[in-house]
Structure 1
Amino acid sequence: MAPRLLRTNSCEVNMSRPQPSPSFLQLARAFWRIGLLSFGGPAGQIALMHRELVEDRGWVSEDDYLHALNFCHFLPGPEAQQLATWIGWRLHGWRGGLAAGLLFVIPGAVIILALSMLYAVAANLDWFEALFLGVKAAVLAIVLQALVRIAGRALNTRFKQVLAIAAFAALFLFDLPFPVVILGAGILGLAIARVRPHWLAVSATPSRIATGPRPWRATLQSIVIWALIWAAPMGLVLATLGPEHVLWDIGTFFSQLAVVTFGGAYAVLAYMAQEAVQGFGWLKPGEMADGLGLAETTPGPLIMVTQFVGYLAAYRAPEPFTPLVAGLLGAGLTTWVTFAPCFLWIFAFAPWIDRLGNAVRIKGGLAVITAAVVGVIANLAVWFAIHVIFAAVGEARFGPVRLYVPDWATLDWRAALLTALACALVFVAKWSVVRVLAINAVGGLILSAL
């Protein structure tokens, strides 16, 4: 009997049972291809994997894919990379998970490293600054687009809308730390889901596997092994360079960030920029937007922008290394502590995926975090807008309230014009991210020449 096909958006989706598991080499080749083509942020990457692995190859069933995707939304870190790791684990155990997760990241990591090296040596050149004037404006429009999309999907109850506004106020007006806002939202969600689950629009779904031994041993082994892998380079830095070196600061900061990266790169970018610029002095104002622009043009997770920050931080404080060597070490350490936790989460908790159907309180915690992320991204959009359009931005304090005060004399009309152009291309013409970045980059060169 021929397999049943469902036609959706002019493509045929194979609804029969998954095909026999691929060989390890076939798996590696597929994820190498996905890693090279995974542009467009998490939505595009998830759609690409669905087409390649569910529709075309039939290695994973539709139900399993969607169930795993929901599971990955519970975890901090890039959900697309974690979904890739889970698929590899499902098909070839820990070896497949490691291969799929690494191949999903490596192409983008190599490209963003090369672009970071170029940026470090060319950032002070006039033509380069003009180029990135347009890139910053495009990034602002892209962040606004992400805000609209996530808000439309996540704020489906009045309670969630209030939470998003509260998260924005906590960050923008009261200057609360990002981890406090996210963790506080998660705790609130766990409590609300118990007494008022309808406020969060969450409900239980039948568990896929209700019986069988709980995989405690496998989970504990994975936690111990991957915690040691995660900490290994930090131990080496501590033993050889000490806790005062910039590499130690890089490792500890991005390790902490890896635990609270709910909502992806957009959610943590403002906090990362604040700490990198004001806390550590690694970057100049506006350079975080440059980094995100570079990450938008490369395949792989957008959180790879952390590698850009790590490279520049070490490059600018290289002792006892040369700037290039220090930058490479900073980028490598940042990538390690950013993605090692992703493997920890998947290998530790993937055996439990089929038991999470009835986890209403966990779903509630995630729902509130997602609502808070909308407020976080709104904070990022406003922060970007002020720092892209104005060259000088001060702060004013009124008790616990902090306000940004731009210097209107430093208004950059070129940046304002390019931002309007990027918003028109994104929201009206609906151009792709890469096309908008390219047009704005050229626009920056032209306006700066004029």
Structure 2
Amino acid sequence: MTNKTYDTVNASLPPSITFLSACLFWFKLGFISFGGPAGQIAVMHQELVERKRWISEQRFLHALNYCMLLPGPEAQQLATYLGWLMHRTWGGIIAGVFFVLPSLFLLILLSWLYVRFGHIPEVSAVLYGIKPAVTAIVLFAAHRISSRALKNSVMWIIAGAAFLGIFVLHLPFPLIVLLAAIFGAIGGHVAPEKFATGGHSSAQKSYGVAIIDDHTPIPEHAKFRWSRFILLVLIGLLLWSSVVGFLCWQYGWTHTFTQISWFFTKAALLTFGGAYAVLPYVYQGAVEHYQWLSATQMMDGLALGETTPGPLIMIVTFVGFLSGWNHLPLGADSALLGATIAACLATYFTFLPSFIFILAGGPLIESSQGKLKFTAPLTAITAAVVGVILNLAVFFAVQVFWPAGFNAAVDYCAVLIFAAAFLALSRYKIGVIAVILASASVGLLLAFVKPWLIQHGLIS
């Protein structure tokens, strides 16, 4: 590189990344991160890669590919990773916490409003309109993931088998994940070309020189050391076991608080495939097994999660709150306190593993600069997740279209709202929030119009 080129490059370097400026960005991100994982990752890319040029495209995708390998919310994990890369451990913790904190407070507030005022006719009408839209959103998520994951007949077979396994045989979600992983491990040796996948492609575009550029040396704190790795794993185990141990000592293993902690720990470790992958597992456990809340309440919680900033997996906050509200772990006189603690426990145990994955595993990834190799088991798991999410969409559809059971008439108004919402999402690419708001408005309108239609025999 000539001196002239070198001077030009240095002149184009953006300002350095101060800790305060990074904290302000992560704080802002927590309030503007709408649109699910894809939207949140796009916001980070636009701000950090394109506009601020804090990190290069290649390094950004390198981090994202690792986060996609992990169970849990990849957008929150990516924020934690980038914060850690810029400003060490505290940078990662602040980035990850700020990504979640606004939605935690907001969802606790919305959950309380929901349980207090959800039965008011006008609120019920709004929720009536939202439920078909939620069904359309989940089905669209299955469609979107399938277009990326089901690249050949083998992947379609895995997805179909997963759907039949959970829909017909009622197999638990962890077993489906395990079977898919085993099948993928075997298939990767027998027919590796069928299990090849690429995740996010390598960088194709440059936005100028970045502070953390393609060939920027690995920072000292990001170099792998076994002593640091073991220490962080032990700290993570301590943070987990100390809370679980206290809850067992204070309340016992079967208490709602303790079971929430254990259940959402498993959810955090088993939900590969992004935010929507957690929904079937949470539904199967929280609704069917523990009966902490109803299927209808689960759908309402998903609607709230879609319309608030932060990762979609924050629906666990709503589930935790409803679990505490419905089961009164601290007694009827402390219903709000018990529900709030349950919501915080669900959130804590859902996100704790993500921090450990990033802070302990990040140096390993930084030391292996270059494209990550996605494993065949992960490919099979992602395909299986499509079938599981489709099962959830079918279940929601049954609840919405036949609210009184199959022996009753179909709710054609709900079917029409669903069809319009799915068309808006899939064909016209309208945003999720706009679709939910429009569906809520239709539900409210129907509350006034439907009695007149029934009176004149236009609908039953």
Q: Does the C-alpha gap of structure 1 residues 421 and 235 become closer, same or farther in structure 2, counting only changes over 3 Å?
A: same
Q: Percent identity?
A: 41
Indicate the residue corresponding to 1:314 in structure 2: 324
The alpha-carbon distance between structure 1 residues 411 and 86, as it changes in their structure 2 partners (threshold 3 A), is: same
Structure 1 residues 81-100: aligned runs within 5 Å = 81-100=76-95
Contact 2:256 2:329 in 1 (8 A): no
Aligned to 2:277: 267
Alpha-carbon separation, structure 1, partners of 2:372 and 2:236: 25
Matched residues in 2 for 1:287 and 1:414: separation?
A: 20
Partner residue, 1:7: none
Match for residue 386 of structure 1 among 393, 398, 404: 398
Structure with the greater alpha carbon radius of gyration: 2
Distance 1:178 1:17 in 2: 51
The number of residues matched between the two structures is 426
Cα distance change, pair 382–17 in 1 and its aligned pair in 2 (3 A): farther
Distance 1:299 1:202 in 2: 30
Q: Does 1:174 align with 2:173?
A: no
Instruction: Give the Å deviation of 1:70.
Output: 0.6
Q: Write the mapping of 1:73-222 to structure 2, written as runs, cut at 5 A.
A: 73-202=68-197, 215-222=225-232
2:256 aligned residue (246, 268, 271): 246
Task: Tell me the CA shift for residue 16 of structure 1.
Answer: 10
Distance 2:198 2:106 in 1: 42
Q: SS in structure 1 opposite 2:295?
A: coil
Which whole-Å CA distance do the structure 2 matches of 1:65 and 1:102 have between them? 20
Is the contact between residue 271 and residue 281 of structure 2 (CA under 8 Å) also seen in structure 1?
no
**For 2:400 and 2:301, how far apart are their aligned partners in 1?**
13
Preserved CA contact (<8 Å) 1:35 1:103: yes
The aligned residue for residue 436 of structure 2 is 437
CA drift at 1:358:
7.8
2:278 is the alignment partner of 1:279: no
Report the CA distance shift for 1:442/1:302 in structure 2 as closer, same or farther (over 3 A).
Answer: same
1:299 aligned to which of 303, 309, 315: 309
1:174-198 per-residue CA deviation (whole Å, 9 max, x = no partner) reads 1110011112222322332234221
For the 8 Å contact 2:167–2:391, the answer to whether it is kept is: yes
Q: Name the SS of the counterpart of 1:316 in structure 2.
A: helix
Show CA shifts across 1:275-326 (max 9, x none): 2222112112221111110000011100000110100111112243411000
Whole-Å Cα distance in 1 between the matches of residues 10 and 42 of structure 2? Answer: 17
Farther-moved stretch of structure 1 (229-238 vs 365-374): 229-238
- Give, as a single letter, the amino acid of the residue that structure 2 aligns with 1:339: F
Stretch of structure 1 that moved more, 93-102 or 347-356: 347-356
Cα root mean square deviation, aligned: 2.8
Select between 315-324 and 83-92 the one with higher mean Cα deviation.
315-324
Residue 208 of structure 2 corresponds to which residue in structure 1? none
Query: Which amino acid in 1 is paired with 2:358?
Result: I
Q: C-alpha separation between the residues in 2 aligned to 1:174 and 1:369?
A: 18
Q: Which residue of 1 aligns with 2:235?
A: 225
- Asked if structure 1 preserves the Cα contact closer than 8 Å seen for 2:62 and 2:371, the reply is no
- Alpha-carbon distance in 2 for matches of 1:348, 1:219: 5
* Inter-CA distance 371–17: structure 2 relative to 1 (3 Å threshold): farther
What is the identity, as a one-letter code, of the residue corresponding to 1:429?
Y
Matches of residues 384-423 of structure 1 in structure 2 within 5 Å? 384-393=396-405, 407-423=406-422
In 1, Cα distance between equivalents of 2:340 and 2:432: 28
- CA–CA distance in structure 2, aligned partners of residues 429 and 271 of structure 1: 30
Query: With CA pairs under 8 Å and 6+ residues apart, which has the higher RCO, 1 or 2?
Result: 2
Residue of structure 2 in register with 1:399 after alignment: none
Aligned-residue offset at 1:410: 4.8
Choose the corresponding residue for 2:28, options 25, 33, 42. Answer: 33
1:65 to 52, 60, 70: 60
**Further displaced range: 228-237 or 45-54:** 228-237
Q: TM-score if structure 2 supplies the norm length?
A: 0.86
What stretches of structure 1 of length at least 5 have no aligned partner? 4-13, 394-406
Q: In structure 2, which of residues 377, 389, 395 is the aligned counterpart of residue 365 of structure 1? A: 377
> Which whole-Å CA distance do the structure 1 matches of 2:250 and 2:415 have between them?
47
**Does the 8 Å contact 2:31/2:309 carry over to 1?**
yes
Superimposed CA distance per residue, residues 194-233 of structure 1 (whole angstroms, 9 cap, x where no aligned partner) = 3422111248999x99xx9853222211111012112332
Contact 1:17 1:58 in 2 (8 A): no
Contact 1:310 1:330 in 2 (8 A): yes
Q: Say whether residues 1:53 and 2:48 are aligned partners.
A: yes
Aligned to 1:396: none
User: Which secondary structure does the structure 1 equivalent of 2:408 belong to?
Assistant: helix
Amino acid in the other structure paired with 1:25: L
Do the aligned residues in 1 keep the contact of 2:325 with 2:338 (CA within 8 Å)? yes
**Contact in 1 for aligned 2:37/2:275 (Cα 8 Å):** no
Partner of 2:433: helix, strand, or coil?
helix
| Alpha-carbon displacement from aligned partner over 1:117-143 (angstroms, at most 9, x marks no partner) | 111112222222211111111111111
* Distance verdict in 2 for CA 1:391–1:448, change over 3 Å: same
